[in-house]
Amino acid sequence: MTEPVHCIYGFGVGITVSGQKRVALGEEVFDYAAGQSLLTTADLPVVAHVTQASAAQPFLGLMLKLDSRAVVQIAAEMALRQPTKDYSYRAMSLGDLDPTLLGTLTRLVELLAEPRLIPQLAPLLQQEIVVRLLAGRHGPQLQRVVAVGSPGQQVVQSMAWLKMNFMQPVLADDLAASVHMSPSTFRQHFRAVAGMSPMQYLKQLRLQEARQLMLNQGVDAGTAGARVGYESASQFSREYARLFGAPPLRDIKRMRETT
């Protein structure tokens, strides 16, 4: 088993070829092994680690990023039954891997051995993957997120804005107003999609960015906290330790020693 890793899962589909992986989103846990696929339709701060692997059978998987514009276009062209209004949309969903989808993903990977064919064939295979996702187990999730004006789409838009502007002072009520929802309705939809409140989501974005600044750029803890929007160094240190299990300096030292 590997140590848990805090990371951002973007808009894409992941599959496990061998071994098993656990992904935690807020309080919800997703375990997926060979034969399953994990779809994410927004930028989500998660904790992930391999739970089953060995020297003889190492963990092997892939994550394919999806083009949201292509999904919208293809969904509009397909005559699909719309999910019912009471369908529960989540930004992360787990399902059995369709053998035909696996075949298309395999052909996409095999293209790496024929680089001169990639420009012509890769876009066609990626389009086929989107079509099969929309027509399969994950279809309702994708349709919900691309439906113009749906609560799911509005929440995802808010999440995208937060990812680009997390350094700024942000109020949940202002986010709600920007998508024309009441604060309570916005928080309800946001938690349903992301598995956490808007402010928890913002906090994790800030802390993960601060961690990368310290680890990859050698920035000190005080500077990192200030850059991501913290006015109080002590608050930054407390919330950092709560998320990552140790204060900034100790955590960064531990990560460098294990890499």
Look at residue 148 in the predicted model and tell me its pLDDT: 59
Look at residue 85 in the predicted model and tell me its pLDDT: 62
Higher pLDDT, 6 or 175: 175
Asked if residue 2 has pLDDT above 70, the reply is: no
Asked if residue 39 has pLDDT above 70, the reply is: yes
Buried b (16+ CB within 10 A) or exposed e, 79-117: eeeebeeeeebbbbbbbebbeebeebbeebeeeeeeeee
Look at residue 105 in the predicted model and tell me its pLDDT: 94
Asked if residue 103 has pLDDT above 90, the reply is: yes
What's the token pair of residue 99?
A: 């053998």
Rounded mean pLDDT, 48-72: 88
Confidence of residue 7 (pLDDT cuts 50, 70, 90): confident
Look at residue 27 in the predicted model and tell me its pLDDT: 80
Asked if residue 219 has pLDDT above 70, the reply is: yes
Look at residue 90 in the predicted model and tell me its pLDDT: 79
Rounded mean pLDDT, 190-198: 87
Look at residue 251 in the predicted model and tell me its pLDDT: 92
Asked if residue 114 has pLDDT above 90, the reply is: yes
Is residue 1 a contact partner of residue 50, using CB atoms and an 8 Å limit?
Answer: yes
Rounded mean pLDDT, 18-36: 90
Residue 19: Cβ-neighbour burial (10 angstroms; 0-12, 13-18, 19+): middle
- State pLDDT tens for residues 144-163: 776 656 777 788 889 889 98
Across all residues in the chain, what is the average pLDDT?
Answer: 88
Look at residue 157 in the predicted model and tell me its pLDDT: 84
Asked if residue 133 has pLDDT above 90, the reply is: yes
Q: What is the pTM of this model?
A: 0.73
SS3 string, the chain, reads CCCCEEEEECCEEEEEEECEEEEEECCEEEEEECCEEEEECCCEEEEEEEEECCCCCCCEEEEEECCHHHHHHHHHHCCCCCCCCCCCCCCEEEEECCHHHHHHHHHHHHHHHCHHHHHHHHHHHHHHHHHHHHHCCCHHHHHHHHCCCCHHHHHHHHHHHHHHHCCCCCCHHHHHHHCCCCHHHHHHHHHHHHCCCHHHHHHHHHHHHHHHHHHHHCCCHHHHHHHCCCCCHHHHHHHHHHHHCCCHHHHHHHHHHCC
Look at residue 241 in the predicted model and tell me its pLDDT: 95
The dihedrals phi and psi of 85, each to the nearest 5 degrees, come to -65, -25
User: If you average pLDDT over each of 32-46, 220-234, 243-257, which comes out highest?
Assistant: 220-234
Residue 52: Cβ-neighbour burial (10 angstroms; 0-12, 13-18, 19+): middle
Asked if residue 172 has pLDDT above 70, the reply is: yes
- State pLDDT tens for residues 161-170: 998 899 999 8
